[in-house]
Amino acid sequence: MVKEQGLATKMSEEVEGKVDWKGRPAAMEKHGGFSPAMFILASFAFENLATLALAVNLVTYFNAVMHFGLAEAANSVTNYMGTGYLLSVLVACIADAYVGRFRTVLITGCIELLVCSLKIHLFVSIIFVLR
């Protein structure tokens, strides 16, 4: 469908039956596409990469430094990973019902960045205090 606005003619293809968050007809060149999808997929891939790398290191840390048994260390790590996956399901339900997927990824990405930066700051502070 071709849409005309004011004096200038603006060519835009609208997706039938779809609207944006303000209730206006969704235009193909403005909404969705490859960039948001790649952002979401890259965020998911890096999160899984970090979680699996952390899981391996946590078992070693719990076993060597915290003196947990191997089974107890593995159990603690799987509890941590299970909590992370259950939180993902909870956030997905909130995203579908209230906020929207892309905004939810942006919000949770910012929260994750903030939490990780605080962890790094605390870790570096502890190392300098112990020296």
Read off the pLDDT band of 71 (50, 70, 90).
very high
- At 75 the pLDDT is 92
Terminal CA-CA length for the chain: 68
- At 56 the pLDDT is 84
- Are 16 and 77 within one domain? no
Tell me the residue range of the domain where 4 lies. Answer: 1-31
**Is residue 57 classed as helix, strand or coil in its secondary structure?**
helix
- At 5 the pLDDT is 53
Q: What DSSP state is assigned to residue 20? A: -
Read off the pLDDT band of 130 (50, 70, 90).
low
**Is residue 27 classed as helix, strand or coil in its secondary structure?**
strand
Of 84, 81, 87, nearest to 57 (Cα)?
A: 81
Read off the pLDDT band of 9 (50, 70, 90).
very low
- Are 11 and 41 within one domain? no
- Are 81 and 125 within one domain? yes
Least reliable range by pLDDT among 68-72, 84-88, 95-99, 107-111? 84-88
- Are 57 and 6 within one domain? no
Query: Does residue 7 have a pLDDT over 50?
Result: no
**pTM score of the predicted model:** 0.50
Q: Evaluate whether 19 touches 30 at the Cβ level (below 8 Å).
A: no
- Are 24 and 49 within one domain? no
- Are 17 and 44 within one domain? no
Query: Does residue 94 have a pLDDT over 50?
Result: yes
Measured between alpha carbons, how far is residue 18 from residues 23, 92, 95 in Å? 9, 21, 18
Report the number of distinct structural domains present in the chain.
2
Q: Tokens 């399901």 appear where? A: 89
Who contacts 14 (Cβ-Cβ below 8 Å, separation ≥6)? 1, 3, 25, 26, 27, 28
